[in-house]
Amino acid sequence: MRAPHWIIVGPKKSWEAAFKQNGIWGVKKHRYAQWKALDPGDIIFFYSTQPITGVIGVGEVETKFIQDKPLWPDEIHQQKVIYPLRFEFRINYLLEQKEWQSKRIPVKLSPHEGRSGIGFLREETIERLYTKFKEEFSYIISPPKSLVPAVLLTPAEEIFTTSHTQVQDLLLEIGRLDRFIAEKEYLMENERLDVVWRRVEGSVPTYVFEVQVGGDIYHALGKLKHAFDIWNSNIFLVADEKALKGAEGLLCGTFHEIQDKLKKLTIQKVHELYQAKYKWNKLEEEIGIL
């Protein structure tokens, strides 16, 4: 069964305020039922109105709370709280603000979906949005944490996977646990990078990872070098120990410019890092500081 997917509807100025606060939204008291139904991990699509109309990004719910301080432009103007039922959300993908008008995804919402400012999405709307994000932005929407395979949510020493996709997914989840905007198959000119982490919407990748499980090390190093050249990103090559040793010759020769910039990670280290991050994250949840 698919986890709940929501559409969050609001004017452009409110979205600007929400993103400046690193992901906060609020609704009025009479929307308590919808707010109450939100759960951590639920997927939410950001739908802007006035003057831009369409979906501009996607994220997932993190925590809910009730606030008694004005935050939104109309609240500040009136000096009173209008939207006390609030929640924090993680930004998984967001268009640059200058592209909101040109690249937004037009979606025809039913009265139920769009009327309240927060509503469940119909299955056909969900499928359309998943397809559009993949086709228009080369972004694959990951399932909520509750639907992530057990290998990602139940770290155990005996679990050790080596497929390219599984290592990508581990890196993706590590980035999100660290509150980065983490994406895989990120488009860089005519190339696709395995995984990138960005700090804020509209920024270039801060961290870039190429995963080599078999494949062409030369090509991977070429992409990492280009990412460093154009973005000054922190670059990582992820592979088994044999492949990493094989890359040394190229780093001493063709790619000597990035020899001191490139960080090499074994797949084992990625697993260890995920396990440590996951356990730390769970501890924070138990303490109540997330």
Cα–Cα distance measured from residue 4 to residue 32, given in angstroms and rounded to the nearest whole number:
17
* 235 pLDDT above the threshold of 70: yes
| The CATH number of the domain covering residues in 150-284 | 3.40.1350
The CATH number of domain 5-137, selected from 3.40.50.150, 3.90.600.10, 3.10.590.10, 3.20.130.10: 3.10.590.10
The encoded tokens of residue 88 equal 């924090």
More confident residue, 281 or 270: 270
More confident residue, 167 or 147: 167
Question: Of the given ranges (51-60, 75-84, 275-284), which has the lowest mean pLDDT?
Answer: 275-284
More confident residue, 120 or 111: 120
Residue type, 251: L
Q: How does residue 155 score in pLDDT terms, banded at 50, 70 and 90?
A: very low
Helix H or strand E segment including 146: none
Q: What per-residue confidence (pLDDT) applies to 146?
A: 42
* Average pLDDT value for residue range 67-72: 84
DSSP 3-state of 160: coil
* Average pLDDT value for residue range 59-82: 88
* 285 pLDDT above the threshold of 80: no
* 152 pLDDT above the threshold of 80: no
Provide the terminal-to-terminal Cα distance of the chain, rounded to the nearest Å: 27
The encoded tokens of residue 83 equal 């939207």
Cα–Cα distance measured from residue 206 to residue 212, given in angstroms and rounded to the nearest whole number:
20
Q: How does residue 203 score in pLDDT terms, banded at 50, 70 and 90?
A: confident
pLDDT, the chain, mean: 85
* 178 pLDDT above the threshold of 70: yes
Contact partners, residue 224, CB within 8 Å, separation at least 6: 208, 210, 235, 236, 237, 258, 262
Cβ atoms within 10 Å of 18's Cβ, excluding its own: 22
* 161 pLDDT above the threshold of 80: no
Beta strands 263-266 and 234-239, pairing class: parallel
Q: Hey, which of 57-66, 147-156, 231-240 has the most confident mean pLDDT?
A: 231-240
Q: How does residue 225 score in pLDDT terms, banded at 50, 70 and 90?
A: very high
Cα–Cα distance measured from residue 191 to residue 3, given in angstroms and rounded to the nearest whole number:
32
Distances 143 to 2, 118, 129 between C-alpha atoms, Å: 9, 20, 13
* Average pLDDT value for residue range 142-159: 46
Q: Where are the domains of the chain?
A: 5-137, 150-284
Q: What per-residue confidence (pLDDT) applies to 290?
A: 58
Cα–Cα distance measured from residue 257 to residue 146, given in angstroms and rounded to the nearest whole number:
43
* Average pLDDT value for residue range 46-51: 91
